[in-house]
């Protein structure tokens, strides 16, 4: 590929990015990133213009997770980058392979109002800082940044000084090529043999899968392993959607788990963790791990092994490769027929009757407010099952993965790694763009939705199909419940009721205010029409209900 003579660095880099696989860029334009963004569009990249840089970063985060593509974000210097930094922090903590193109002041322009030490800011939230240093080094700098993003699964911010962007790059420039991705990391055979021995001794094994299992495409191999050893299945929040239709799946382990998942996980005598970190959220601060249970952790990153809690078996290896190695080892040992374990009619009925959709609870709805559990279950029943689901963070957030079901892990985006509210709407937009034509469902609190509401216009402008469910209790409920239990006045975190339905109609969406199940009739009508465009549900939820996971994780 000949990129031509006398091209600017910005134009050459844009064509390089297309050659390296970039197809979509999310951004908000300013003077420092206009030329690189314009060059990307000229090179064939689809530019999604957001209304806030933080939202642009979160759109890209969700899109990259769903597609695995080289995904770009473009932001202006100074406040453009600072506005985006929370979304960048979420992506960095999620290990999302993302390339942020951050326009920067001309080299040496330290007196510019837009000048900040971009590298220091970026590193402070766990992202990787790179820079195009000179016109001559720019293409190599870009290749290094893309390699770190894709091969190391890092969120990389590439600073683009204006003078370097504008410089001419003379001559013919051969195409850039990424180093081939290394093959799967296979575990040590001796570690596999020891773990196979532990499996042979176990009476109540459980396979717990996380983000690493999703990235490894290990679902089928893990199901085969579970079938062979009679194990039950569960996921971390980051693995939500794995094993979605499997009758032996307990769903999420941890704060958002069902009552029966808590029981059966804590009864397990061997827990096989594939690509899962065993955080305090996943284990309920260790309460879900029986004192005499053995724990095995399989991960491709050695520093993660045993970092969150002690483990008896630490295997450095890819989730799928390790599951297949265990199957082969069990076959060599003559374990060729499925072992029943806890897989019997009694356990199957326990799983069904004790899951989130069948467990009994005291419905605390009345004529003015609705129980968020009741609302969530009703919306789940009304909406098409072929959907993608995103959730903001906040007190409400456990109700989304508990009740709004997803068909697979790529259909779920729970923006909880940084625990920032306000990332849900852009995550839903990114997820919707990654899944053209599918209905995107968002669960958000009133506080977080107010933070990101500007990009409701973006969802409507792009013609996305989206159902937005607002859990509206007119407060920052996490603080209300936590500090009220300690005897504080909480009026400073409570607000007048907001009519989100009226606001949504002002943007051009359809909407309904929901206080009772009967008020969801308009949603049923919309779904009957094929669920076109954006529909917002302003759910007036009972403000006195504290989520059980919140009370348990944040005791007084």
Domains, the chain, ordered by start: 7-169 (3.40.50.970), 189-353 (3.40.50.1220), 372-553 (3.40.50.970)
pLDDT of 17: 97
Tokens of 363: 């419905």
Q: Angle CA(152)–CA(158)–CA(160) in degrees, nearest 5?
A: 160
How far apart CA 21 and CA 1 sit, in angstroms, is 15
Tokens of 37: 């963004």
The pLDDT profile of the chain, 556 residues, written as one tens digit per residue, is: 444 456 999 999 999 999 999 999 999 999 999 999 999 999 999 999 999 999 999 999 999 999 999 999 999 999 999 999 999 999 999 999 999 999 999 999 999 999 999 999 999 999 999 999 999 999 999 999 999 999 999 999 999 999 999 999 887 788 898 988 888 999 999 999 999 999 999 999 999 999 999 999 999 999 999 999 999 999 999 999 999 989 999 999 998 999 999 999 999 999 999 999 999 999 999 999 999 999 999 999 999 999 999 999 999 999 999 999 999 999 998 876 677 789 999 999 999 999 999 999 999 999 999 999 999 999 999 999 999 999 999 999 999 999 999 999 999 998 888 889 999 999 999 999 999 999 999 999 999 999 999 999 999 999 999 999 999 999 999 999 999 999 999 999 999 999 999 999 999 999 999 999 999 999 999 999 999 999 999 999 999 999 998 888 888 7
Tokens of 468: 């937005």
Q: Percentages helix, strand, coil for the chain, rounded to the nearest 5?
A: 40, 20, 40
How far apart CA 355 and CA 330 sit, in angstroms, is 31
Contact 415, 423 (CB under 8 A): yes
Which DSSP helix (H) or strand (E) runs through 234?
strand 232-235
Region of 104 (left: φ > 0; alpha: ψ -120 to 50; beta: rest) is beta
Tokens of 497: 């009721």
Structure-token match 């990129």, residue found = 3
Which DSSP helix (H) or strand (E) runs through 242?
strand 240-243
Sheet holding 387-391, edge to edge: 412-414, 387-391, 439-445, 466-472, 534-540, 510-514
Q: To the nearest 10°, the Cα dihedral for 497, 501, 505, 506?
A: 10
pLDDT of 337: 66
- Non-local (6+) Cβ contacts of 4 within 8 A are none
DSSP letter at 237 equals G
Contact 127, 136 (CB under 8 A): no
How far apart CA 347 and CA 250 sit, in angstroms, is 11
3-state DSSP assignment of residue 320:
helix
């Amino acid at each position: 590929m000949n990129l031509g003579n006398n091209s600017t660095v910005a134009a050459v880099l844009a064509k390089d990015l297309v050659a390296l696989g970039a197809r979509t860029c999310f951004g908000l334009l300013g003077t420092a990133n206009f030329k690189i963004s314009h060059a990307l569009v000229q090179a064939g990249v689809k530019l999604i213009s957001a209304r806030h840089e933080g939202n642009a970063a979160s759109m890209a985060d969700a899109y990259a997770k769903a597609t695995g593509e080289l995904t770009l974000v473009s932001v202006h210097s100074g406040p453009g980058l600072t506005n985006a930094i929370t979304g960048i922090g979420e992506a960095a903590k999620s290990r999302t392979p993302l390339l942020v193109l951050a326009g920067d002041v001309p080299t040496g322009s330290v007196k510019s109002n837009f000048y900040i030490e971009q590298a220091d800011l970026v590193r402070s939230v766990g992202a990787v800082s790179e820079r195009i240093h000179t016109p001559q080094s720019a293409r190599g700098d870009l290749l290094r940044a893309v390699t770190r993003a894709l091969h190391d699964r890092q969120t990389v911010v590439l600073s683009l000084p204006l003078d370097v962007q504008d410089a001419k790059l003379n001559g013919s420039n051969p195409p850039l090529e990424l180093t081939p991705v290394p093959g799967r990391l296979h575990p040590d055979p001796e570690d596999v043999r020891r773990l196979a021995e532990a499996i042979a001794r176990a009476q109540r094994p459980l396979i717990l899968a996380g983000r690493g299992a999703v990235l490894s495409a290990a679902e089928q191999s893990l199901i085969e392993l579970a079938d062979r050893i009679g194990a039950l299945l569960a996921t971390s929040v980051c693995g939500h959607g794995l094993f979605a239709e499997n009758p032996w799946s307990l769903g999420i382990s941890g704060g958002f788990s069902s009552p029966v998942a808590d029981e059966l996980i804590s009864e397990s005598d061997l827990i096989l963790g594939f690509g899962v970190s065993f955080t305090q959220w996943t284990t309920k601060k260790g309460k879900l791990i029986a004192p005499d249970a053995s724990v095995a952790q399989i991960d491709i990153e050695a520093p993660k092994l045993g970092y969150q809690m002690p483990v008896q078996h630490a295997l450095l290896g890819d989730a799928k490769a390790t599951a297949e190695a265990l199957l082969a080892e069990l076959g060599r040992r003559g374990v060729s027929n499925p072992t029943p374990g806890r897989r019997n009619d009694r356990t199957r009925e326990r799983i069904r009757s004790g899951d989130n959709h069948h467990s009994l609870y005291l419905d605390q709805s009345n004529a003015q407010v609705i129980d968020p559990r009741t609302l969530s279950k009703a919306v789940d029943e009304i909406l098409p099952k072929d959907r993608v689901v995103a959730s903001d963070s906040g007190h409400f957030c456990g109700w989304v993965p508990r009740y709004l079901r997803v068909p697979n892990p790529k259909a779920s985006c729970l923006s909880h790694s940084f625990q920032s509210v306000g990332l849900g709407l852009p995550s839903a937009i990114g997820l919707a763009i990654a899944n053209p034509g599918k209905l995107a469902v968002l669960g958000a609190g009133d506080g977080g939705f107010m933070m990101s509401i500007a990009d409701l216009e973006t969802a409507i402008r792009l013609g996305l199909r989206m159902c937005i469910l607002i859990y509206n209790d007119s407060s920052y409920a996490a603080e209300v419940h936590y500090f009220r239990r300690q005897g504080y006045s909480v009026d400073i975190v409570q607000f007048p009721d907001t009519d989100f339905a009226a606001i949504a109609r002002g943007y051009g969406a359809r909407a309904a205010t929901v206080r009772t199940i009967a008020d969801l009739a308009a949603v049923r009508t919309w779904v009957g029409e094929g669920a076109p465009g954006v529909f917002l549900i302003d759910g007036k939820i009972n403000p006195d209900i504290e989520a059980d996971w919140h009370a348990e994780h944040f005791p007084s």
